Structure 1
Amino acid sequence: MNKNSLRRDFDSKPSKSRMISAMSLEGKTAVVTGFGGGLGSAIAVSLAQAGCAIVGTDWSRSETVQENMNKVKEIGQKEPLFFECDLMYRDAIGEMCRSILSKIPDGVDILVNNAGIFERFFFEEKPVESWDKEIAINLTAPFLLSKSLCPPMKKKEWGRIINISSVVGLVAYTKTVGYCASKTGLIGLTRSMALELGPHGVTCNAICPYFLHTQIILPVLEETEKATGQTREEVLETIRESCPTKRLSTTKEIADYVVFLCSPAANNMTGQATPIDGGYTMV
């Protein structure tokens, strides 16, 4: 597999000629958690290109966060806001939500619960502390953020909540007990919220990606390399071969689907958990 094929799989640089630009979200404000990561960056950029003002959150104001803020600024939309918040802590989430609503009195229109962590342990070896962390960040935080930020959406009778789950929320793997439980729970949360918020003009959907070339999967790749003696490229090739499309999704493809879910084209779509996985969960 040559370098061009790797770029095809993983390049998330936004394209300037995009059909998605027709799905205007002008005048909307979107909160994106996990703003410092590769997927968070791609989602923020795609939403900004569609016209959204961006509010980013992450556990620290890193260099990557600043780089991602600059990417959003370059699009020419409203300057992004950023809030530092460790989603492990409930009080911190509440304080951040109050700060967001004080800056945006009319409330935000879109919430993308993208932040997540993944710690690999066999079930019997899983530390309780690791379990608590994954449940707190991957499941409890989206619940608390949605609970705090959805009232203004209901008042305006328009809102979008998008939860980034995983194919692991649909199928199980070994050494993913906390991640699997939290991502499966996130799908259940999505469906329950969709039932209650639907009559108020607020939709709630989940996206279930397969492997993306982001920081969260690096431990999996490294562990597989050591266990099998394969090179990084051989591991990636095995993963690609597990998909009918024989390639992995890009962060841009996930981000563009987020924009679709926020667009008028998805006005009557709610409670769905959509795999974007090259057909992996089909076979």
Structure 2
Amino acid sequence: MSAALPLAGRHALVTGAGRGIGAAIAHRLAVDGATLTLLGRGRDALQALAEALPTTAHARVLVCDVADAEAVAQAWRTLQEEGAAAVDILVNNAGQAASAPFARTSDDLWQRMLAVNLNGTFHCARAALPAMLAAGWGRIVNVASTAGQRGYAYVAAYAAAKHGVIGLTRSLALEVAAKGITVNAVCPGFTETDLLRESIANVVNTTGRDTEGARAEFTRHNPQGRLVQAEEVADAVAWLCTPAARSINGQAISVSGGEVM
């Protein structure tokens, strides 16, 4: 392992890797020398990303819905059956965001937000942890959100799920602190991704605002007056996976231009 390739020899699995923040994280971990497993629900997007990564990443694709506990267990069994190295680094990035006023938050919406954002994080951490404990080394990084640190109106289910992710992060970090494993959360503010651009388009369609006016609704939360870039989130995640971050444990690091301090 060299300073230039701090993750050489490490196997990283990224959930929700097909696009946006997940794809940026996969690129950055590959550049740092990790081999990659890309996990998500859309095979085509995952395969396209695998082909775009450096060949040194030896990227493999696993199609899996992290909300399904048995599907996650089967994904880990598949890795074993294929002779893959144990997962050293788990990045729980898969997530969904849906909005509704609290009075119109249905049971279905509530359960969907918990299922992918919180349950999915639990399922994957539970699957990855035994091998990390056996090796005496591991990194788990959960991509939460500033919504898990401060909350926003009209996203009660999403914010509750992301608060849960931060609570899970802190509790698990304490359990494994003396075992060579760190568990941390990265909490992006509004980040420029396809999903956010879709949200901006939705604001335009439902309110009649122009694109710039709709975009301003999202940038106003960031004291820097801009959207976070996916690569900035990826940089924070990658650093937490390196030996340099061995003393960082149980933290919820806000990547938001100072929105949360």
**TM-score if structure 1 supplies the norm length?**
0.86
* Identical pairs, percent: 34
Aligned to 1:6: none
Paired position in structure 1 for 2:180:
201
Q: Distance in 2 between matches of 1:223 and 1:237?
A: 14
Q: Which runs of 4+ in 1 moved over 4 A?
A: none
Paired residues of 2:5 and 2:31 also in contact (CA < 8 A): no
Q: Which residue of structure 2 aligns with residue 65 of structure 1?
A: 46
Q: Secondary structure at the match of 2:120?
A: helix
Partner of 2:110: 131
Structure 1 unaligned regions, length at least 5: 1-20
The one of 20, 30, 37 aligned to 2:12? 30
C-alpha contact 2:72 2:127 (8 A) present in aligned 1: no
Letter in 2 for 1:65: L
Alignment partners' CA distance in 1, 2:206 and 2:112: 26
2:100 match: secondary structure: coil
Unpaired runs of at least 5, structure 2:
none
AA paired with 2:30? A
1:122 touches 1:175 (CA, 8 Å); kept in 2?
yes
Higher relative contact order (CA 8 A, sep 6+): 1
C-alpha contact 1:23 1:260 (8 A) present in aligned 2: no
RMSD of Structure 2 on Structure 1 (CA): 1.9
The AA in structure 1 aligned to 2:47 is: Q
Residues 112-139 of structure 1: CA distance to partner in whole angstroms, max 9, x if unpaired?
A: 0000011111122122122111111101
In structure 2, C-alpha distance between the alignment counterparts of 1:232 and 1:281, rounded to whole Å? 26
* 2:134 is the counterpart of 1:155: yes
After superposition, where does 1:1-283 map in structure 2 within 5 Å? 22=4, 24-62=6-44, 64-72=45-53, 75-104=54-83, 106-226=85-205, 228-282=207-261
Distance 1:224 1:95 in 2: 39
Q: How many residues align?
A: 260
Return the alpha-carbon distance in structure 2 between the equivalents of residues 104 and 233 of structure 1. Answer: 50
CA separation in 1, counterparts of 2:221 and 2:165?
25
Contact 1:23 1:264 in 2 (8 A): no
Q: Is the 8 A contact 1:163 1:190 kept in 2?
A: yes
| Deviation (angstroms), 1:207 | 0.5
| Deviation at residue 171 of structure 1 after TM alignment | 1.2
Per-residue deviation, 1:105 = 5.7
Equivalent-residue separation in structure 1 for 2:201 and 2:85 (angstroms): 46
Q: Which amino acid aligns with 2:8?
A: E
- Aligned AA (1:222): A
1:170 Cα shift?
Answer: 0.8
User: TM-score normalized by structure 2?
Assistant: 0.93
The alpha-carbon distance between structure 1 residues 105 and 223, as it changes in their structure 2 partners (threshold 3 A), is: closer
Greater displacement, 243-252 / 51-60 = 243-252
Q: Residues 166 and 209 of structure 1 are in contact (CA less than 8 Å); yes or no, is this contact kept in structure 2?
A: yes
